[in-house]
Structure 1
């Protein structure tokens, strides 16, 4: 048997590459803590509600602990917080009326009864008032009493009217209603009998604690995170996650702040956003962005109010009807200069569309700064020219994402030709009736995928130039002996599609969470929802993937989260310089999977002992192979050095890395 000390000595001679990565299958939340809304003090701890999220500041060591679904909270979007001194617990009320109790040790207890209850009067909570170990929640129907120490709803008092706030004083409990006046009842009476509540005066507003100094102090704290929880569009590029808020199409305007937020190794950069005085336009509803491939410090962004250029996070140029080829919907109104899609080509020319105009539609801003119009009659006056995508053929794909004329266009810059797809017929000859085309992407076989309100559609490479193109709805066999099949995710409203290094499709939906579909499209590998995962919302707006480490970023209507899939992009060369395993060494307390990255696509992988005994084998997914640390009999392998041997489809083979296991 090899001694531990010997293994450690050997490992000291092995050249490894350190990888900072989370365990496969883990989730992260990236919440905003910018807008301080309330501060509750509990001794030396400050509970801070900011941007509807929560963190705790410890005055003793000046540490900050953030809280979200991944470390204990039961829900998202906090409406209000209130500290109960007697029970030493923070009451956390969410906008959906779920309730958590957080104690000073960081333990969280959920009270879900009110959230789950069905009430005809509505559940609005106007105020939380503490008295002893109890909290009185003033609601649309009356008062709800919570025993904070026991984490239970004690009683509800249905008074038949809206209560703004509650007070316990002396032998009485008072309910104040701006509509009905001031009511009170003896604490010793049956408070559930509303006849015991007597009107005793007019409404009086509560005297709120002055927290200006606490809020001012909280504003000096800087928990890591974005400024806003809006992620309508995302792109992972050159090791960074670039995001903008979204918020606009022709039938919906969410008026989201126009903020570009970029994450680089968990550090956030917030682009200049106080720019309305410089541009003369409202800086809202930014729906698309791209990074200049010839100068990565330059970013172009666009949306309802024109085109913005940023250099090193600062606004460097703004383009509208008065200084470019762009046109406003309302002539001289910069707030409706619609540029809902843009993309850089590989040489640094920017392509963009100007929606709802018959003067200009498809425009190029060249790398030399020249504006060129490629006006296409097919695109005239279309309301929502969006979701730009330049594929491997250098075709520029554009969707008109609108119910009036849902359509797709493929423009070829080299020939100035354009293909229009305005009728959608599937492989069974069925005319598909769709209203929205919300995403465009390309798979590894160069097929084009479109996310629509009736499910995903695929246009194979050979159908792109067909005079009568057929859109494929992937048929998934039932495998029940009937030879029948079902269309993949038929009827599911698709909002975004991203494809990982293993060719798997991550499909975001409008209310059904995220589906993970296998490379061959026939297997649903996972379906993430708020009920079975740490997903923040089932309404997904964007997905972007870090192909280096397999982290899948998911932009939801309630903020940004990520899932560590572990699946990386394949590499062209497998050797000891770029192929490695983590964790390595595998220590006795570690029981999770061991991940090998830096592999070819579909590489044949074998793991053997130092004397050549086979303990595991399989094929890589993308550039990744995952080993559970067990042998062919399902037992944890013995301590020792294990070789990772690979073979490519071309017949090349060899040992690419070594793994030390310590038991």
Structure 2
């Protein structure tokens, strides 16, 4: 009955939280960091550990690790505490915002409870969930406003207690119940409060007794006694009287009672006491496991310690500090700043800079790459102290050579995943601002293999570097910028087929530079006269397959359609894209902060925003294919840092401030020849269930033809030569609203298995005949369909 009730609540109230478990789980993949564990609990031969905004489960019998993320229905917000109910087999998750989620272990479903989150009479800063305590089928929720009660049997809220004088909101850290009396550990000198659970009027603050003053952080029951830690680090025993038991080394971040043990997790120590309050063991970080402790729990005589950098450490309760690490594979941090998925590896960096390209506070962080479905870490101590690693550029003539801008330290070169050299003012043409801060914000390779970089607030901000011979060149912007030290920097660089470097700036709009132009090689577009909004920063650029420059600003989107003729036009202007919304003309992405622009193999546009998620537009921007937000997708936040497209398989990697995800878009970059073109699945078996669907955007269905060139015509016939389906590049677009049965997305075509009469084809052999419209190259592929 509980499972049935849970499913009814999911259907009626939790549809948004659970729907992308149904619709998107096969299209999305989460790449969350599990290093920083905020809480850990045990139950039924399992350990649950909550990282910042995702959870992993460790089976203590099989050692298997599984994850629960936004892909499964979690909100992606900041988790503060978790609790596992063995009776109901629910994992209860509390958040900074007051949101509560219940994960049903039996149903693999997530129910979102928004009552506290949406409560109007509670100040938003007071809605933080601090602790859960289960008693007689009820969960007592300790919050920054007081205590609320939730019925796990009926899945509904009960009373809320405001315990402060006059019924005001006060912070309750933890609660515990003993002999039908509830005890609350309170902050702000509100002490320990106690009340009789049989009293029907506990919503009256006067029914609560303050038994001792001060600030209290924990509340636990063990061996028919109450234990609490005060701000002076003293552990008190409450048994009719208040007695001092011990003084802890520091204030605990977590206090748990499991298997008749009272445990305290402190930043540099975990103490475990038995039922008689005798110290069983203490654990500390060591040189091999250098981290802070955050949480602790016990299962089957093993201690599991949640840490700030190493996930969960496992150790025998009676052993010395012989730890083993437990955590899912993932990147170092959730706040991924820059991505690059152009090759077989996905690179991720975690340095950043502010809106004026200021890198402070400096980030001394390692970097990650994702290869063969595993995240690998290159630690900071092997990176030549390169701080604030950001933009990643891969040598197009040598995919093993990677350059990463360090927005303070210079330019880092890696070869075969090994850091090789850090270029700075001492060994290269790079120049610092002041004594040592080299403000490189973006880099880009041109068609000749030169690496171009832009550095902020110096006279010659544009540099080129030739990896083949080590030559550096510098280019001054003094004809445009009189006092570079007063200018606040550059954000992005793109290079077109004519060698023009397009640069987005803070104060000087869109800058163009081409060293091959003899007359006025440095120009810019700025101000309302050229349709670039005044006082607008150009922070992102994207050059599409037609050499049209898409310009992202802090006030919206602009397009320079004729980049080739820019230097021939003294009055070049940018254009906004006007769309019809309910028949009313409207500027596309008006007033949006555009953080990134990426172009896929079909010339569609992927656009990241500061607070509105990700947009996926048709080549001209007139049709919105997708608009992903936290409301309709697994995105943990609508703030997008970066987007990168894998050209081989069409995976879209999306970096947010709260986690990295990938989306299976299914397109790919066109190839030079048809030599490697192939169809899959082949044969198409009945169990694949890929035939007859109408949505070509679901790449888990349909028959795909990959390895296509840029302009092809494809005909599908049966074995007797009867035409079944036909598609042509740039005509039958997968992103079209025409509901094609057969369409092309860059280097990949997808067919839903229907014929020209819109009926699903019969079993048999079908011929896929591909013709390149430019080179006249052809290829024929046979596909067997079994229904």
Q: Answer yes or no: same fold by TM over 0.5.
A: yes
1:184 aligns with 2:194: yes
Q: Any conservation in 2 of the 1:304–1:340 contact (CA below 8 Å)?
A: yes
* 2:172 matched residue in structure 1: 163
**Greater alpha carbon shift after TM alignment, 448-457 vs 605-614:** 605-614
Paired with 1:219 and 1:463, the residues of 2 have a C-alpha distance of 62
2:751 is aligned, of 627, 635, 638, to: 627
* 2:573 matched residue in structure 1: 470
Q: How much has 1:146 moved relative to structure 2?
A: 2.1
Q: Structure 2 vs 1, CA of residues 327 and 569 (structure 1 numbering), >3 Å: closer, same or farther?
A: closer
Q: Any conservation in 2 of the 1:387–1:399 contact (CA below 8 Å)?
A: yes
Q: Structure 2 vs 1, CA of residues 424 and 464 (structure 1 numbering), >3 Å: closer, same or farther?
A: farther
* 2:741 matched residue in structure 1: none
Q: How much has 1:103 moved relative to structure 2?
A: 3.8
TM superposition outliers: structure 1 runs of 4+ over 6 Å = 22-25
Q: Secondary structure at the match of 1:274?
A: helix
Q: Any conservation in 2 of the 1:550–1:566 contact (CA below 8 Å)?
A: yes
* 1:639 matched residue in structure 2: 763
Q: Structure 2 vs 1, CA of residues 326 and 547 (structure 1 numbering), >3 Å: closer, same or farther?
A: closer
* 2:713 matched residue in structure 1: 604
State the TM-score, normalized to the length of structure 1: 0.86
1:260 aligns with 2:269: no
* 2:650 matched residue in structure 1: 550
Q: Any conservation in 1 of the 2:682–2:784 contact (CA below 8 Å)?
A: no
Q: Any conservation in 1 of the 2:94–2:100 contact (CA below 8 Å)?
A: yes
Q: Structure 2 vs 1, CA of residues 656 and 538 (structure 1 numbering), >3 Å: closer, same or farther?
A: farther
* 2:513 matched residue in structure 1: 411
Name the count of aligned residue pairs.
625
Q: Which runs of 5+ in 2 are unaligned?
A: 1-22, 219-227, 229-254, 256-262, 265-295, 298-302, 306-312, 315-322, 691-700, 729-743
1:573 aligns with 2:673: yes
1:316 aligns with 2:433: no
Q: How does 1:209-228 map to 2 (within 5 A)?
A: 209-210=263-264, 211=296, 213-215=303-305, 216-217=313-314, 220-228=325-333
Paired with 1:478 and 1:74, the residues of 2 have a C-alpha distance of 30
Q: How far does the alpha carbon of each residue in 1:459-492 deviate from its partner, in whole angstroms, 9 at most, with x for none? A: 1224421222111112335695xxx743322222
Q: Secondary structure at the match of 2:381?
A: coil
**Greater alpha carbon shift after TM alignment, 191-200 vs 408-417:** 408-417
Q: Secondary structure at the match of 2:630?
A: coil
Q: Secondary structure at the match of 1:261?
A: strand
Q: Any conservation in 1 of the 2:337–2:655 contact (CA below 8 Å)?
A: yes
Q: Any conservation in 2 of the 1:424–1:471 contact (CA below 8 Å)?
A: no
Q: Structure 2 vs 1, CA of residues 662 and 34 (structure 1 numbering), >3 Å: closer, same or farther?
A: same
Q: Any conservation in 2 of the 1:255–1:285 contact (CA below 8 Å)?
A: yes
Q: Secondary structure at the match of 2:160?
A: strand
Q: Structure 2 vs 1, CA of residues 262 and 636 (structure 1 numbering), >3 Å: closer, same or farther?
A: same
Q: Structure 2 vs 1, CA of residues 536 and 614 (structure 1 numbering), >3 Å: closer, same or farther?
A: farther
Q: Any conservation in 1 of the 2:614–2:629 contact (CA below 8 Å)?
A: yes
Q: How far does the alpha carbon of each residue in 1:97-117 deviate from its partner, in whole angstroms, 9 at most, with x for none? A: 322223443623312322333
Paired with 2:535 and 2:705, the residues of 1 have a C-alpha distance of 42
1:289 aligns with 2:300: no
2:624 is aligned, of 487, 503, 524, to: 524
Q: How much has 1:384 moved relative to structure 2?
A: 1.9
Q: How far does the alpha carbon of each residue in 1:384-408 deviate from its partner, in whole angstroms, 9 at most, with x for none? A: 22312222222222221x2xx1422
Q: Any conservation in 2 of the 1:583–1:595 contact (CA below 8 Å)?
A: no
Paired with 1:514 and 1:661, the residues of 2 have a C-alpha distance of 37
Paired with 1:135 and 1:53, the residues of 2 have a C-alpha distance of 22
Q: How far does the alpha carbon of each residue in 1:593-626 deviate from its partner, in whole angstroms, 9 at most, with x for none? A: 2222222335333322212233333332312222
Q: Any conservation in 1 of the 2:395–2:402 contact (CA below 8 Å)?
A: yes
Q: Which runs of 5+ in 1 are unaligned?
A: 1-21
Q: How much has 1:305 moved relative to structure 2?
A: 1.7
Q: What's the RMSD between the two structures over aligned residues?
A: 2.9
Q: Secondary structure at the match of 2:304?
A: helix
